[in-house]
């Protein structure tokens, strides 16, 4: 029931429906969050002590993925803020047009939320959903989703052309390989403070729509327009095949 309501929100719907959703979302955030602030402070202390017990390289990698936020507070905030209803309690989304966040780099998620807020990236639903989030809310919610088991596709498929573009790019057309930035199997990377998002195992329909948005210039928030350059060189068939291949990784 709830799901179908959200799914219809993604289609062209009357403005009144969106604004009532926005009101309810605001009220929920304000009311429940006040009530739970005390609880969150307590759990933060707990989280800090668990964090200090972790050691070694793996802890460093995890810390890099989670960023500066508090995943315990983020769990609560993403529930109250209704993010989980679309993006899943475990970060696996409820609809093929909605991206997974499971194991996504927190820095990347935070960047997107502030881009939605500033209008650098636009989307009818996400512009509203990000409107009232403070930088701390963003960091906490992002840390929560980043801490979930990383999204995983079912199988890479056997499309040789897409597999080749993904792994090696196409020098003749100046296309760098996707893996050189998005990491092995598209599981993401952080280098020189730029977060290269996890794309391997992401929803196929979402991947395709983003590649088309980059190609048409409807989305232009990547550093130095790098994703616009990449996508402009791809044919529509290649975008279709890449989305299929990458979602299986």
Q: How far apart are the C-alpha atoms of 210 and 191, rounded to whole Å?
A: 22
Binds ligand HEC (CB under 6 A): choice among 148, 221, 228, 247: 221
- What's the CA dihedral at 47, 193, 245, 116 to 10 degrees? 80
User: Is residue 9 within 8 Å of residue 17, measured between CB atoms?
Assistant: yes
Binding mask 121-160 for ligand HEC (x = CB under 6 A): --x-xx--x-----------x-------------------
**Of 157, 149, 186, 182, which is closest to residue 248 (Cα–Cα)?**
157
- First-to-last C-alpha distance (Å) of the chain: 31
**DSSP secondary structure string for all residues of 101-145:** -TT--HHHHHHHHHHHHHTSS--HHHHHHHTT--HHHHHHHHHHH
Choice between 57 and 134, CB closer to ligand HEC: 134
Please work out the total of residues on this chain that contact ligand HEC, with binding judged by CB under 6 A. Answer: 43
Binding mask 180-219 for ligand HEC (x = CB under 6 A): xxx-----------x-xx-x-------x-xxx--------
Stretch that binds ligand HEC, among 34-42, 44-52, 83-91, 153-161 (CB under 6 A): 83-91
Stretch that binds ligand HEC, among 6-14, 35-43, 64-72, 146-154 (CB under 6 A): 6-14
Nearest distance in Å: CB 90, ligand HEC: 14
Choice between 54 and 83, CB closer to ligand HEC: 83
Summary count for the chain: helices (H), strands (E): 13, 2
Nearest distance in Å: CB 68, ligand HEC: 16
- C-alpha atoms less than 13 angstroms from C-alpha of 30 in its C-beta half-sphere: 7
Binding mask 84-123 for ligand HEC (x = CB under 6 A): -xxx---------xxx---------x-xxx---------x
Binds ligand HEC (CB under 6 A): choice among 10, 18, 92, 96: 10
Percent helix, strand and coil across the chain, each to the nearest 5: 65, 5, 30
**Contacting ligand HEC within 49-68 (CB under 6 A):** none
Choice between 89 and 226, CB closer to ligand HEC: 226
Hunting for tokens 């990377």 — which residue is that? 189
Taking residue 211's Cβ as centre, other Cβ atoms within 10 Å add up to: 23
Binding site residues, ligand HEC, CB under 6 A: 6, 9-10, 81-83, 85-87, 97-99, 109, 111-113, 123, 125-126, 129, 141, 165, 175-176, 178, 180-182, 194, 196-197, 199, 207, 209-211, 221-223, 226-227, 230, 242
């Amino acid at each position: 029931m709830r799901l179908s309501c959200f799914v219809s929100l993604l289609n062209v719907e009357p403005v009144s429906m969106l604004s009532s959703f926005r009101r309810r979302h605001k009220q929920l955030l304000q009311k429940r969050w006040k009530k739970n602030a005390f609880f969150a402070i307590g759990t933060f202390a707990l989280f800090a002590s668990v964090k200090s017990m972790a050691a070694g390289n793996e802890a460093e990698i995890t810390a890099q993925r989670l960023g500066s936020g508090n995943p315990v507070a983020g769990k609560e905030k993403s529930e109250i803020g209704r993010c989980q209803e679309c993006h899943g309690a475990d970060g696996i989304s409820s609809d093929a047009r909605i991206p997974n966040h499971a194991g996504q780099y927190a820095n990347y998620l935070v960047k997107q939320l502030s881009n939605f807020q500033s209008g650098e990236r636009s989307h009818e639903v996400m512009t509203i959903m990000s409107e009232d989030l403070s930088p701390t809310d963003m960091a906490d919610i992002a840390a929560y989703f980043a801490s979930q088991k990383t999204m995983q596709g079912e199988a890479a498929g056997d499309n040789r052309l897409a597999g080749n573009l993904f792994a090696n790019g196409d020098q003749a057309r100046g296309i760098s390989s996707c893996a050189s930035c998005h990491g092995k199997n598209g599981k993401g990377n952080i280098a020189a403070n730029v977060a290269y998002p996890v794309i391997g195992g992401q929803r196929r329909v979402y991947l395709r729509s983003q590649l088309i948005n980059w190609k048409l210039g409807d989305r232009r928030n990547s550093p130095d327009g790098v994703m616009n350059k990449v996508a402009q060189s791809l044919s529509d068939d290649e975008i279709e095949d890449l989305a299929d291949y990458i979602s299986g990784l």
